[in-house]
Structure formats: C-alpha cells, structure tokens
Amino acid sequence: WCGRNKIKYVFCADSNFGMLQRDIEIAEYFVKAKVKYGSPEKFRACYGKNAEETIYQIGKIFHQYDMGKGITLSRQSNDLETLPPIAIGAP
C-alpha cells in the first residue's frame, strides 16, 4: 500500500521495533516496495532495547537501499562503577 500510493516517509511508532525476528521480514517488505514502486523512500523507527543484533541487521537492510538514517541502541552506562548498582553487571 505504501509503495503503490507513493508514501515517501514511513515512521514506525512501535517502540519495540527490532525486538522480534519478524521485524527483519517487515524491513525486507518495505525494501521490496521501494524497489518495485520507488516508495517509501525512507523508513524510521523507535527501535527496542536488548535486541542489538536484530536491530543491527535491520539497519543494514535499510542502509543498503538508502532508506535509513541509522540506528539507535540503548545503553545505560559505560562506567564500570555505575553498572553494578543499577544491576546491569560489568563486562
């Protein structure tokens, strides 16, 4: 629908986008629409937390077709003194 109707910009308001494997399939679907119809030109999302590999794969898919601006990953802290008190555990 987005491709056929020349919707140029899609913003996915699912704050957990990228958490599930099926989200990769959704990204591939939008890429196929762009290849076939020329739209959507861009896809933006509020990516979820704790699924870095899936989110990274989705980012690569969109980047290949110039549909994405980049990805965001959630980090609590990189400070080794901060991690134990917030129960995230140090590396």
SS3 label, residue 7: coil
> 10 pairs with which residues across the strands?
43
Task: Give the model's pLDDT for residue 71.
Answer: 77
Q: What is the pTM of this model?
A: 0.76
Query: Residue 28: enclosing H or E segment and its boundaries?
Result: helix 22-37
Name residues of the chain where pLDDT drops below 50.
Answer: 90
Task: Give the model's pLDDT for residue 73.
Answer: 66
Task: Give the model's pLDDT for residue 81.
Answer: 77
Task: Count how many residues are written for the chain.
Answer: 91
Task: Give the model's pLDDT for residue 76.
Answer: 67
Task: Give the model's pLDDT for residue 86.
Answer: 64
Closest C-alpha among 77, 29, 78, 72 to residue 48: 72
Task: Give the model's pLDDT for residue 88.
Answer: 54
Check if the beta carbon of residue 17 is closer than 8 Å to that of residue 47. Answer: yes
Task: Give the model's pLDDT for residue 90.
Answer: 44
